[in-house]
Amino acid sequence: MTTPHVIRSGGEAVETARKLAASFAERAGDRDRDRRPPAAEVAELSESGLLGVTVPARFGGAEVDVATLAEVFRTLAAADASLAQIPHSHFVFLEALRRQGTEEQQARYFAEALAGARFANAQSERGGRTAAEDTTTLRRREEGGYTLDGEKYYSTGALFADWLVVRAVLADGPPLPDGLPRKALAYIRRGAEGVTVEDDWDGMGQRTTASGTVRLVGVRVDGDEVVPYSTLFDGPTTYGARAQVLHAALDAGIARGALDAAVTAVAKARPWFESGAETAAADPLTVQQAGELEITVRSAEALLREAAEAIDAAEREPTGDATARASVATAVAKVAASRASLEASSALFELGGTRSAADSLNLSRYWRDARTHTLHDPARWKVQHVGRWLLSGTPPPRHGQI
């Protein structure tokens, strides 16, 4: 890999994303159809410098704001939602490092990000009562450091990672005040002894995110590779909102990509004979539906910007009220973007007519990507938190999904 470019501003970050998106869009349908891992495209992402844009200025990065980062994700997702999701955890865990890491850890891993290194998650598990439970453990070794054992699923981007960030229970540590075990994040090399990454993701959508299984057997972890996790939520925080607004950006991007594809499909479609129109684009019912969809998608995009700006404001003054408002705004944006992505990717076929269902066009990828990604965090719970905030002023809980 060549030496990555270092991006210096938010404007440069967005422009870089636009250029990459134009290139990524060209073969996105083929990659999805063939389930071809986008190795070359991920390498381009590293070389572009985008993976270092949130690195704090004092460590040499552009330290872009959340509004900029959300726009980068939205732009990439409109072109290829699978490819856009791969760096999601990269930025989430760089943020964990910024909040919880030591000066030495920050200097080490931020330098890696600026050099184009990729961080991927290994946090979700199967078999527990809820998705928040972990059985993967970090156990202290007598000679120092830890041993890491466990199995993680839905490890997006792990196949392409230089570093895996593993959420694990501190087996030998005191429990939290509520009796739950303390957790930490282990930043380990993808090729460390005892680490196996399997490309076994078989989802109907987001087929090329490399969201496979990570197996960890007796992995040696040094003490300086472990960062506290549970304490992320001890006080007012935007950590969860930051992660969720990027998910909203992915959904908003899918919605825009689907609507753009619908415009192309309408240009090739025939008008319904009862309309009396010369072209499908002049059919008044098609015009009406297209206008409604544009309003829906623009609304989601506007709410995304509002949420990102609320997070930026809360990070400048992280009071309990400000961070709660940021979380609520993010929940609203996530629900709106989820709905927009599903509506636009389904209506695409109504606008394009029967020929748009041709498998050779692979337009179904927009709906499959939307339906798969919107399952990530239940929108119904976000609606609940918004309603409680509105009616009784109840702040949303502090965790990574709100």
Structure confidence at residue 358 (pLDDT): 96
State residue 127's pLDDT score. Answer: 78
Burial class (CB in 10 A: 0-12, 13-18, 19+), 218: exposed
3-class DSSP string for the chain:
CCCCCCCCCHHHHHHHHHHHHHHHHCCHHHHHHHCCCCHHHHHHHHHHCHHHCCCCHHHCCCCCCHHHHHHHHHHHHHHCHHHHHCCHHHHHHHHHHHHHCCHHHHHHHHHHHHCCCCEEEECECCCCCCCCCCCCEEEECCCCCEEEEEEEEEECCHHHCCEEEEEEEECCCCCCCCCCCCEEEEEEECCCCCEEEECCCCCCCCCCCCCEEEEEEEEEECHHHEEECHHHHCCCCCHHHHHHHHHHHHHHHHHHHHHHHHHHHHHHCCCCHHHCCCCHHHCHHHHHHHHHHHHHHHHHHHHHHHHHHHHHHHHHCCCHHHHHHHHHHHHHHHHHHHHHHHHHHHHHHHHHCHHHHCCCCCCHHHHHHHHHHCCCCCHHHHHHHHHHHHHHCCCCCCCCCC
Amino acid at 36: R
How far CA 59 is from CA of 14, 106, 188, in Å, comes to 21, 8, 21
pTM above 0.95, yes or no: yes
Q: How far is CA 203 from CA 124, 207, 389, in A?
A: 16, 6, 35
By CB neighbour count within 10 A (0-12 exposed, 13-18 middle, 19+ buried), where does 177 fall?
exposed
For 305-324, b/e burial (b = at least 16 CB within 10 A) is bebbbbbbbbbeeeeeebbb
Q: Give the angle 133-378-28 at the CA atoms, nearest 5°.
A: 105
Q: Which two tokens stand for residue 79?
A: 């072109």
pLDDT, position 401:
86
**In a structure prediction context, what are the per-residue pLDDT tens digits for the chain, which is 402 residues long?**
578 899 999 999 999 999 999 999 999 999 999 999 999 999 999 999 999 999 999 999 999 999 999 999 999 999 999 999 999 999 999 999 999 999 999 999 999 999 999 999 999 998 778 878 899 999 999 999 999 999 999 999 999 999 999 999 999 888 888 888 999 999 999 999 999 999 999 999 999 999 999 999 999 999 999 999 999 999 999 999 999 999 999 999 999 999 999 999 999 999 999 999 999 999 999 999 999 999 999 999 999 999 999 999 999 999 999 999 999 999 999 999 999 999 999 999 999 999 999 999 999 999 999 999 999 889 999 999 999 999 999 999 998 888
Q: What is the pLDDT of residue 107?
A: 98
**What is the chain's length?**
402
